[in-house]
Amino acid sequence: MRLFAALELPDHVVDELNQWWQSAQCFLKPSDWRPVSPHLWHLTLAFYGDVDGHDADDLAEALLQCAEKSPGMYLQSGGLGFFPRPARPRVFWAGVSEADEGKKLKRLAHCCRYAGHATVRKRTAGETAFRGHITVARSRGFPAAITPADFELIPEVSSISWCADRLSLFQSILQPDGPQYRRLETFELKGSAKGTRGLYV
């Protein structure tokens, strides 16, 4: 199973973000980009790739520990970009960060990455620096580079705030028209803001 850990988005966030997306997608060539359906939008914390069934149980237990020691947090949308870079775009994303500029989100992401490294031997703990984002479109083939002038045309992402209080483990099921996601388990974020640092080292 292809697995990843993520924070789901409340319905009102999806609805408001979709209003921005309806105007933003007009500046992307339909022949170059495949939109991600809004009901699939989420905030990925760690991607594990293929995981055997018995290893998935160990991974879920490790994620439960992350959730039990991680506090809920207020998040907000803002900013946009392209992965891996505008000159070679493959993913178009809307940014997400903590509303109070704290470190709880990054620490939770690091814990989820480390959980994969420790339980299923996936080196997610050593990946590139975490950047909170929601993937809203993926490239079809090799689209043209995004120039600074192109950036100027794309509307700014709406600023939307919400409380994240649950962590979920998902299965990614590859389909011809793009991946579909199945929630396997959900864990409530129960920790306090104090005493969580030791979990993320």
Question: Residue 128 has what pLDDT?
Answer: 78
Judge: domain 2-190, CATH 3.40.50.2300: no
Residue 133 a catalytic site member: yes
Question: Residue 200 has what pLDDT?
Answer: 45
Cα 163 to Cα 179: distance, rounded to the nearest angstrom: 26
* Other Cβ atoms within 10 Å of 33 Cβ, number: 19
Report in angstroms the alpha-carbon separations of 158 from 5, 17, 95: 25, 7, 10
| Full-model pTM | 0.90
Report in angstroms the alpha-carbon separations of 69 from 39, 47, 150, 189: 28, 20, 42, 7
pLDDT in tens, the chain (201 residues): 999 999 999 999 999 999 999 999 999 999 999 999 999 999 999 999 999 888 899 999 999 999 999 999 999 999 999 999 999 999 999 999 999 888 999 999 999 999 988 777 655 655 678 999 999 999 998 999 999 999 999 999 999 999 999 999 999 998 887 889 999 999 999 987 654 454 544
Question: Residue 125 has what pLDDT?
Answer: 52
Residue 117 a catalytic site member: no
Question: Residue 124 has what pLDDT?
Answer: 60
From 39, 42, 54, 110, active-site residue? 42
Cα 19 to Cα 3: distance, rounded to the nearest angstrom: 29
Structure tokens at 56: 């998935």
Question: Residue 192 has what pLDDT?
Answer: 75
Where in the chain are the domains? 2-190
Structure tokens at 48: 């594990």
Question: Residue 193 has what pLDDT?
Answer: 61
